[in-house]
Amino acid sequence: MDFGETEMERALAEPLGRFLEERYDFQERQKRLASPEWRPDLWRALASELGVVGAALPETVGGMGGGPAEVGAVMRAFGRRLVMEPFLTTVVMGAGLLRAWDNAAAAPLLAAIAEGATTVAVAHAEPNGGFEPAYVSARAVASGDGYVLNGRKALVLNAAAARHIIIVARTAGDVEDAEGVSLFLLDAATPGLERLDYGTIDGGSASDLILTNVRVAADKVIGPIGKALPLVERMLDEATTAVCAEACGLMQSLVDITVDYTRQRKQFGRAIAEFQVLQHRMVDMMIEAKQAASLTMVARLKLDSSDRAAAVSAAKSRVGRACRSVSQAAVQLHGGIGIADETPVSHYFRRALMIEQQFGSSDYHLDRYERLQIYSL
C-alpha cells in the first residue's frame, strides 16, 4: 500500500503552501483577529485562484473531484499557518451533508460553494448533549407544507460567516433515539432564527442558535425524514479526521518553530539547542507528531470501511493527547515569551487546545473506541 502523497495532493498542497506563505503570514492573522467581522477576500481567492474550496467537491459542480486525501492536504496546510477560513464547516461538514441530498437545489448550492460564493455552517451540537450526535432535543413539527422548528443549538462554528445553516432537529422519538433525526437547510436570515455569537480561545468564532417557531419548507429537508443520524455520524467522523490532519500540520509547525528558536536562544554562551536534555524534549515532540500523523492517515483510509468509527476515535484520542503534549513543550521551551500574544507559538498552543476538545475530547474518543471494540466482539 502506498502511503505517500498522491499527485493531486502534491498539486494542491505545493501552490497552497506558497500562496499562504505570501498572503497569510502571522501579521495577516493578527489583522484578521482584530477585525470584528469575517473578511471573505481570502476565501474567494482560495476558490478562484487555487480551486482549494472545490478540492473535495464533484467535478459536476465545478470541483476537483477529490476526497479525504485532498481535504487532508488542505487541512495540514491550514494547520501549519493557523488559517481561519471556514473550509471545515463549509466544505467538509456542510457540503458533506449536501452531497447526500437528492434534490435539485443541491447542485447549485454545491457549485456556489466551489466558487467561493457561499458558506455553510452545521448546527448539530446542543447545550446538554456533550459530544453525542444522537442527543437531539430541538424539535421539528410538521405544519402545512413544511415544518416548524423550536429548540437551541450550541457551539455552531463559523455561523456568523455562514449564508446557510443546516439544522439537526428531531421529527420523532425521544432525546438520544437513533430514529427520528432529520436535517433542515435554512437561510441564515430566516425569521425566528436568533444567533448569539462569541469568540473561541483559538481566535475563531462560534454561535449558539435559538430557534423560535422557525418555518422551513418541506423541500428543504436533506435526506429522508427521521433517518439522518447515520449521515450526521459520518459527517462528524469526516470532520474529526480533517481536524486531525490540521493538527498534524500545526504540530509540525510547532516542532519547526521550537527547533529554530532553540538554535537562536543562548544560555551560558551556548545555543540552548545544544543541551542534550532539550534535544530529547524536541525529539519527543517530533515522535508525538509523527505517531499522530500515522493514525490520522489510517483513519482517512478507513473512512469508507466498516470500522470507520473505531479508526477515527483511535486517531482523535491520540492526536488530542499529542496536541496537548507538543504545544505545552513548545511553550515551555520558549520560556516566558511562549505565552505572549505577539508570539506565534502562543496562538498555536491555543488552537491545539481547541482541537483537543473539538468533536470530542481524547477521553471521549478513547471511551468510544473501547465501546466499539466491545460491541464488535
- Per DSSP (E only), the strands in 126-204 are 139-143, 146-157, 164-170, 181-187, 193-199
pLDDT at 276: 93
Measure the CA angle with vertex 151, ends 85 and 202; round to 5°.
25
Confidence of residue 2 (pLDDT cuts 50, 70, 90): very low
Same domain, 235 and 353: yes
Identify whether 221 is part of a domain. Answer: yes
Higher-scoring residue by pLDDT: 37, 240: 240
Note whether 51 and 128 are same-domain residues.
Answer: no
* Distance separating alpha carbons of residues 241 and 315, to the nearest angstrom: 8
Could you report the per-residue pLDDT of 327-357, keeping only the tens digit for each? 999 999 999 898 999 999 999 999 999 999 9
Kindly state whether residues 219 and 237 are assigned to the same domain: no
CATH number of 145's domain: 2.40.110.10
**Residue 2 and residue 294: Cα distance in Å, rounded?**
13
Q: Is the pLDDT reported for residue 111 higher than 60?
A: yes
Phi-psi category of 170—alpha, beta or left, where left has phi over 0 and alpha has psi -120 to 50? beta
6-56 tens-digit pLDDT: 677 788 889 999 999 999 989 889 888 887 778 899 999 999 999 999 999
> Is 269 or 283 the better-scoring residue by pLDDT?
283
Helix (H, G, I), strand (E, B) or coil at 208: strand
Mean pLDDT of 251-273: 93
Q: Which triple of cell numbers denotes residue 77?
A: 496546510
Judgement on whether residues 239 and 201 belong to the same structural domain of the protein: no
Q: How many residues does the chain have?
A: 377
Q: Dihedral of CA 1/323/40/105: which sign?
A: positive
One domain, residues 367 and 257: yes
Q: Are residues 264 and 329 in the same domain?
A: yes
CATH of the domain at 287: 1.20.140.10
**Domain assignment of residue 200, yes or no:** yes
Same structural domain, 54 and 37 = yes
Number of domains composing the chain = 3
Please say which residue of 114, 142, 158 terminates a domain. 114
| 306 CB neighbour count, 10 Å cutoff | 8
Q: Are residues 354 and 290 in the same domain?
A: yes
pLDDT given at position 268: 87
Q: Is residue 167 part of a domain?
A: yes
Q: Are residues 269 and 362 in the same domain?
A: yes
Is residue 24 situated within a structural domain? yes
Q: Are residues 269 and 361 in the same domain?
A: yes
Summarize the confidence of residues 180-199 as an average pLDDT: 96
- Cα(319)–Cα(291) distance, rounded to whole angstroms? 8
Q: Which helix (H) or strand (E) holds 120?
A: strand 120-123
Burial class (CB in 10 A: 0-12, 13-18, 19+), 36: exposed
Q: Examine the domain organization and report whether 276 and 361 are in the same domain.
A: yes
Which residue intervals of the chain are DSSP H helices?
A: 7-23, 26-34, 41-48, 68-81, 87, 95-98, 106-114, 229-264, 276-301, 308-334, 344-357, 362-375
Rounded distance between C-alpha atoms, residue 72 and residue 213, angstroms: 39
Comparing C-alpha atoms, which of 222, 203, 140, 213 is closest to residue 173? 140
Cα–Cα distance, 355 to 246 (Å, whole number):
9
Residue 176 lies in a domain: yes
CATH of the domain at 58: 1.10.540.10
Domain carrying residue 190: 120-226
pLDDT score for 269: 87
1 part of a folded domain: no
Residue at which a domain ends, from 226, 261, 291:
226
Q: How far is CA 118 from CA 19, 55, 95, 111, 235, in A?
A: 21, 15, 11, 9, 19
Mean pLDDT of 305-324: 96
Residue 65 and residue 114: Cα distance in Å, rounded? 11
Global pTM value: 0.95
Name the domain boundary from 226, 254, 274. Answer: 226
Residues 252 and 364 in one domain: yes
Is residue 317 in some structural domain? yes
Predicted confidence (pLDDT) at residue 249 exceeds the cutoff of 90: yes
In a domain, 2, yes or no: no
Q: Which of 245-254, 333-342, 360-369 has the lowest mean pLDDT?
A: 333-342
- Report the C-alpha gap between 227 and 116 in whole angstroms: 30
